[in-house]
Structure 1
Amino acid sequence: MNKRFALTMLAAMALTATGLAKTLKSDPASREMLNDRQIRAEFKTTPEKAGGIYYAYPYRTDSVAPAPAGFEPFYISHYGRHGSRWVINKKLHSSVGDAMRAQMSEGNLTDFGKEVLDKVDRLGKHTEGHWGELSPLGGRQHNDIAVRMMMRYPYLFKGNARVIARSSNSPRCIISMAAFTEAMIKLNRSLNIQRHSTPGDMEFIMKHS
């Protein structure tokens, strides 16, 4: 009889130091020039990265390490952030638009610059009232994560398997949880899914808020 193996899904960022980084540390000017060139090269290749935290970062489906011999997964703990969202603050549009209008009044905008300003203004109107909301892309991201999870471990979600989902009380997080669990239900309508969003859970979900 196979032993049970607890599977925990975690996201982590690893930072590595290199000899080049040590050299640049002692020469701030060189480091700044290199960083500037790297950033410009990345933006040229992938303009979307200029969106900073609003860049919908890509994902890759990695292979899963097998459980140790004689063991099998019996539990998954998934901790995820909300999906892609609308801009969090109106100022992100107005500050750009104001800066460009100031330059236009000085005669410093090209025809292309004026086209960009028009798009900035139209985008600002389009996002009015949606500040910080989960975007349709954000919903699809959580939907896809849930589908990949169930496809990789179908035996953990058979029959009326229990799923406990908890979200912070931020609307974009609640809707992210809904998108995730609705995708699971579509694959197995017998699942016993319990969804929670309560201030009482914020202590461990997002303590500082």
Structure 2
Amino acid sequence: MLKYFKATLLLLVLCTTYKLKAQTCNYPYLGTKTLYSVQVYKNTVPPARYQPIFINHVGRHGARHLTKEVNTSFAYKLLMHADSAGALTAEGQKLKDMVMALDKVEHGKVKSISGGGREELQGIGQRMFNNYPKVFAGSPRLNVAITKEIRTKQSADAFLNGLKAGFLDSAKISEYTDDTDLRFYDASPTYTAFEDGGNWQTVMHQLEQKLKIADVDTKIINRWIKPAFTETLKPAEIEKLVSDIFGFATIVPSLRVEIAKADMKPGSVNFISLFNCDEIEALSKIDVADDYLKKGPGTNKNGIQVRIAVPLLVNFINTTDQFIKNGDINAELRFAHAETISPFATLLGIDKASLLATDINQLSQSWRSDQVISLSSNIQWVFYRKKGSSNLLVKILLNEREVHINGLATKLFPYYQWQALRAFYLSKLNNLNVKLTDNMADYLKEVK
């Protein structure tokens, strides 16, 4: 009995110790690879007799696989080389085994959404129907826009499966590819130059110095690779190895379904266990700052990283105007990328997405990529009309949550007068010398 009591006591101590460790290391490190979550949420009741009539929507693709095969990564090649040279430590051997296991899970699946991603999108589609069934009454007509990437097509299909589950009649769906309005970041030479060497680099360098990120990378790699081999690596190679492995760590939560199908235990690809809490926080801060500076408000919320989203705003306004004029489309549904959602959210002035940070090291107080551009993140404009009236109200949702628009007041929050919101955005466009009739492909080529 005493022996049993001691064993039980030891187990309790170990469990308590593990729990405390997990609590102290509970930093939100996934950033843009955070799985989509829906908290208990209730729509604010609209003014009397107003009913939802139209939805304008854009969403990011769901949880996904890697975008490149594991065995083509810098980390894979370097670890194989180090292993053949007998330069891996015991921890490095463990890392190599994880990389090989991830390669098995991911082979042939890259660029696609995962099983978890399909579940995310189906859920969003189901909730859209459940929250606004009147929008989809009868035989609804839907415009569905995707990009050239297969994961947006897969995301649209999963979303529609969830949405159509509530339909009584079949829907009339028009699907098309729209890279101008949804992949605007690829079409602007000025933005490409900004990514390669914009003024964001100074801020990033300051953060790297503050976090001593070079020392963090070196400390990490010394646990994986023996000193004699490490000394042959350039600083950029050390940084790339750590970045690749941290990237593997952040993709694993998206692969729950696939890991189970491969008959693997989660520990087989538990890359995050190879980092300590301080390292996780430092590496995550670098990732989030990179997104904030290149895709969000950055150092200037009117900078090129935001202005490139103008085509999508023009498209939202024009498609809404078309609905008001013709009323023949029930919903405009678009499926794109994180690089689409974040600058668009900033351009719109959404409160959670457009604040400038006063201290990049305290960025989470102003902007968090896991809350703005998680996997399956989305922005919805939901329009309401009172029977017999031409007056339209609209509310804007970020990730299915009602949000404020900075710079525009309303007495009916979360509902805004459409004409007031439209005028607000037209003023923004006018300040950028943009008209609703402009050719957006030309705009992207010329914008500075």
Residue in 1 aligned with 2:276?
A: none
Say if 1:187 and 1:208 are closer, same or farther in 2 by CA, change over 3 A: same
Equivalent residue for 1:160, pick from 129, 132, 139:
139
Residue in 1 aligned with 2:182?
A: 205
CA contact (8 A) 1:165 1:195 kept: yes
CA contact (8 A) 1:162 1:191 kept: no
Residue in 1 aligned with 2:154?
A: 175
Task: Read off the aligned partner of 2:26 and give its amino acid letter.
Answer: T
Query: Aligned equivalents of 1:75 and 1:146: distance in 2?
Result: 15
Equivalent residue for 1:62, pick from 38, 41, 45:
41
Q: How does 1:76-155 map to 2 (within 5 A)?
A: 76-90=55-69, 94-98=73-77, 100=79, 102=82, 105-106=86-87, 108-110=89-91, 114-155=93-134
Say if 1:195 and 1:189 are closer, same or farther in 2 by CA, change over 3 A: farther
Say if 1:108 and 1:129 are closer, same or farther in 2 by CA, change over 3 A: same
Task: Read off the aligned partner of 1:176 and give its amino acid letter.
Answer: S
CA contact (8 A) 1:168 1:174 kept: yes
CA contact (8 A) 2:128 2:163 kept: no
- CA shift, 1:162, in A, is 2.1
Unaligned stretches of 5+ residues in structure 2: 1-20, 187-448
**Partner SS state of residue 160, structure 1:** coil
- CA shift, 1:117, in A, is 2.3
CA contact (8 A) 2:144 2:175 kept: yes
**Structure (1 or 2) with the larger CA radius of gyration:** 2
Residue in 1 aligned with 2:26?
A: 45
Task: Read off the aligned partner of 2:89 and give its amino acid letter.
Answer: N
- CA shift, 1:148, in A, is 0.7
Identity of aligned residues (%): 23
Deviations along 1:162-202, one digit per CA (max 9) or x if unpaired, are 2222212221101111111122222215142313123xx32
CA contact (8 A) 1:163 1:191 kept: no
- CA shift, 1:141, in A, is 0.9
- CA shift, 1:51, in A, is 4.7
Say if 1:141 and 1:43 are closer, same or farther in 2 by CA, change over 3 A: farther
Say if 1:185 and 1:107 are closer, same or farther in 2 by CA, change over 3 A: closer
Residue in 1 aligned with 2:338?
A: none
Q: Report the TM-score when normalising by structure 1.
A: 0.65
Deviations along 1:99-145, one digit per CA (max 9) or x if unpaired, are 555389335324xx533421211211331232211111111111000
Moved over 6 A (4+): 40-43
Residue in 1 aligned with 2:165?
A: 186
Number of residues of Structure 1 aligned to a counterpart in Structure 2: 164
Deviations along 1:15-51, one digit per CA (max 9) or x if unpaired, are xxxxxxxxxxxxxxxxxxxxxxxxx9888226xx545
Unaligned stretches of 5+ residues in structure 1: 1-39
- CA shift, 1:98, in A, is 4.7
Query: Aligned equivalents of 1:178 and 1:205: distance in 2?
Result: 17
The structure with higher relative contact order (CA 8 Å, sep 6+) is 2
Say if 1:109 and 1:132 are closer, same or farther in 2 by CA, change over 3 A: same
Task: Read off the aligned partner of 2:184 and give its amino acid letter.
Answer: K
Q: Report the TM-score when normalising by structure 2.
A: 0.33
